[in-house]
Structure 1
Amino acid sequence: MTDDSPILIVEDEPKLAALMRDYLIAAGYATQCLDNGLQVVPAVRVSEPRLILLDLMLPGRDGLQVCQELRSFSAVPIIMITARVEEVDRLLGLDLGADDYICKPFSPREVVARVKAILRRSPQLLNSAPKRLLIDEEQYLASFDGIALDLTPLELRLLSTLARSPGRVFSRDQLLDRIYSDHRVVTDRTVDSHIRNLRRKLEQACPGEQPIESLYGVGYRFQLADG
């Protein structure tokens, strides 16, 4: 994805979708609109958007299910939109990998502000460090400072998840949700093993530098020095 990639609006209320679209366009963002939950995953697999505004209640498939599947293969920023107050506690925990949430009714200006905040907080990997870390998720290729990384598909998903949100701390459970698409039952220490392998391969590519940091009792984050 690039700065030209659209903001994907997934909303089945035509007037609300049009309102968000108009405000985002006025703020300088390209947009794309979908109105059915079944359309989202195929669309993102074809062309990943810059960010997704994802309504909770959708025809075909609800937003929580969509978010969970998206997180099995993509780290695209997701803002959930809900009118169901009883879901707020769940969304606040962001257990399914959403980056933020907005409750209906809301001001379209608030939507634009949230989008800007998320994009500032989570700069796109290829734009933020083009000479240091490159990841091609479609071809399962990665390089660090121009040196190819021999990663397994799982290690690549793990690195991509961490690196697309630099500075953000991910718990082991959050990382497990993202790297195992079949939601198999594994211990959270499985993540530690994958992190060790990933660190070793990064160290081989760039001795003396380790961008994956651990926070005792919390999880892991990615911090990349300027190249």
Structure 2
Amino acid sequence: MLDLLALYLQPYNYTCTKIKNGKEALYYLQKQSMDIVLLDIMMPDIDGWELCKRIREFSDIPIMMITARDQQDDIVKGLRLGADDYLTKPFDEQELLARMEALLRRTEPKKHIEASGLRWDEERFELTYNNQLIRLTPKEFLMIGKLMKNHGIVFTREQLIDLIWGFHSETEGRTVDSHIRNIREKIRQAGFPIDDYLITVWGVGYKWEM
């Protein structure tokens, strides 16, 4: 099934990563950025139900369950655990592609986010508060954007290093802390109540609360 899905999708410019067990998939998704997950239920170590639930603890990535289990109760269970769509085998190639395209349209990354007058604008590469420009370094800009786009989700220092500096970076956790301090200070000087939004989760990492 993994090979068949890759065969379907590669001609449409999808790059497919094939993983055969739930534990490995969970570890990979915690470290790498992906656009969509196609998830079977019957897998070693962690089944699709549990994997879907665990992914939702740290990511809002689109999840489509693809499985031979076509009972109504199974479909409802998958959707309630956090899946965005549910496709039963056997399926038509064009239906798979259409459903994936619909999910990806719905979850296109936001180019700008606003919170109480603080505006992060990816296209302009600007952070402003009440139209006042706040000057950030490129890494600071990317970090505050990642937190704002995923409000409510706690990012560990290791996750932020992977996302901002890259998976093979030798950057250390204290560098993340230093960037967070600089972000807070610069935004605080502009008059925005940053401490109400950018929250330290002690012993874990950081999150943005709306």
Q: Normalised by the shorter chain, which TM-score bucket?
A: 0.5 to 0.7
Give the Å deviation of 1:140.
Answer: 2.0
Considering only aligned residues, what root-mean-square deviation do their CA atoms show, in Å? Answer: 4.5
**Percent identical:** 24
Q: 1: distance between equivalents of 2:129 and 2:46?
A: 39
Q: 1: distance between equivalents of 2:163 and 2:208?
A: 15
- Larger Rg over CA atoms: 2
TM-score of the superposition, structure 2-length normalised? 0.57
Q: 2: distance between equivalents of 1:216 and 1:130?
A: 24
1:92-117 residue CA offsets vs partner (Å, 9 max, x unmatched): 765xx75465654166764696339x
Runs (5+) with no aligned partner, structure 1: 1-10, 15-34, 42-54, 72-77, 117-121
TM-score of the superposition, structure 1-length normalised? 0.54
Give the Å deviation of 1:68.
Answer: 5.9
Do the aligned partners of 1:166 and 1:222 also contact (CA within 8 Å) in 2?
yes
Do the aligned partners of 2:139 and 2:164 also contact (CA within 8 Å) in 1?
yes
Which residue number in structure 1 is paired with residue 138 of structure 2? Answer: 153
Q: Any residues of structure 2 matched to 1:68-87 within 5 Å, and which?
A: 70=33, 78-83=35-40, 85-86=43-44
AA of the residue aligned to 1:115: D
Which residue number in structure 2 is paired with residue 196 of structure 1? Answer: 181
1:115 aligned residue (64, 71, 84): 84
Which residue number in structure 2 is paired with residue 22 of structure 1? Answer: none
Do the aligned partners of 1:56 and 1:80 also contact (CA within 8 Å) in 2?
no
Give the Å deviation of 1:127.
Answer: 7.9
Runs (5+) with no aligned partner, structure 2: 20-24, 86-106
Residue 207 to residue 99, structure 1, CA distance change in 2 (3 Å): closer
Q: 2: distance between equivalents of 1:37 and 1:193?
A: 44
Q: 2: distance between equivalents of 1:184 and 1:40?
A: 26
